[in-house]
Copies of this chain bind each other. A is one copy, B any other.
Amino acid sequence: MIIVFKPNISRKEEAAVLKEIKRLGYRPHIMRGVARTVVGAIGDELTHQSLESLITQFPGAVESVMPVQKRFKLVSREAHPANSTITVNGNVIGGRKVQIMAGPCSVESEKQLLTTAKAVKAAGATILRGGAFKPRTSPYQFQGLGKRGLKLLAKARRETGLAVITELLSEDHAGLVAEYADILQIGARNAQNFQLLIAAARTGKPVLLKRGLSMRIEEWLLAGEYVLSNDNPNLMFCERGIRTFETYTRNTLDLSTIPIIKQESHCPVVVDPSQGCGRADLVRTMCNGAVAMGADALLIEVHPNPAEALSDGAQQLSLDSFRQLMSELRPFIAAAGRE
């Protein structure tokens, strides 16, 4: 930790702060600069008390306290310099091939799901998405088919060979959902629901962790740390847009997270342009950008009839639009040196 003193404090005040730093287990190291005196408090920040309360305790003497260590470990590139890959149903996420996860926002019926699954598979997708348990802003909105939805996903997997990703909403469902799904999705609203992250990790299934609505990248990495530190190495980060003041889009898709997560972490990066923009007409262009910037996979909402969708109709692509997107995406995948 670095402690910056206010200018013109007395030696007595200084001594009191140094004594407190020692009491909290750090070794203080003073540097007298031109305009400020600074103390380096030497000790492992991950195992010692934070010194941030020195500001409160010595309001006349301490101006600021700055940590110097990164707080995440297992998700970091330092811990695992090579890219991690996750194999799901024979498909490698994080390898040379850009994987496409596609399907409806919610599982609504057998016909809706199977029609979509067959169409997205034909167009090149390898993983089927579909919500069985849906987190809805209002209790009066459609909450998903629950277990029946999971069974339909399993049926679609049997009939198409696609792997299945679906959202886990509740600790109590972890075992149930893991029984039917190949990847467990943790949604943006639960990105810091740490109990749920632990429950998901413990199923042993790969976990896709969406970024929270106003989550800093460091917090996202630390939330991922909850998965890896619970003995599950198969974690993907999924950018899905952050909340800003903009009203043209539902969220602001922050594509800079692709190179940043790649730099800080070894885990694969997935981009969800459907949630990210909330507008089907922008999905195609956002996918081109995501692939050009190095995304390992895309998560795309597709519905046979978006106007009748029981959730988020405005952001789901029709089957035709999805086919077109897949064909337009090809040159960008090639330009990125991927398959």
Contact = CB atoms under 8 A, between A and B. Distances in A.
B43 A216 contact: no
Contact of A244 (B222, B242, B335): B242
B172 A307 contact: no
Contact of A307 (B54, B169, B219, B292): B54
Contact of A34 (B42, B194, B242): B42
A290 interface: yes
A309 B216 contact: no
A254 B256 CA distance: 9
Interface stretch (A122-130, A137-145, A175-183): A137-145
Interface residues of A, number: 115
A55 B314 contact: yes
Contacts of A320: none
Given A34-B43, A53-B307, A291-B292, A256 B277 contact: yes
B56 A281 contact: yes
Contact of A249 (B45, B49, B68, B260): B260
Nearest to A260: B248
Contacts of A49: 308, 310, 313
A54 to B, nearest CB: 7
Interface stretch (A86-94, A110-118, A157-165, A185-193): A185-193
Nearest to A308: B49
A62 B190 CA distance: 34
A31 B40 contact: yes
A242 to B, nearest CB: 6
B256 A256 contact: no
A247 interface: yes
Given A29-B31, A52-B313, A243-B214, A288 B292 contact: yes
A54 B137 CA distance: 21
A249 to B, nearest CB: 6
Contacts of A226: 139
Q: Most chain-B Cβ atoms within 10 A of its Cβ — which of A226, A243, A280, A307?
A: A307
A217 B246 contact: yes
A252 B257 CA distance: 10
27 contacts: A31-B42, A33-B43, A33-B68, A34-B44, A47-B140, A49-B310, A55-B281, A57-B307, A63-B70, A64-B68, A137-B222, A169-B195, A172-B195, A190-B192, A216-B246, A216-B248, A242-B245, A242-B252, A244-B252, A245-B245, A253-B254, A255-B255, A256-B282, A258-B285, A260-B282, A285-B293, A285-B294
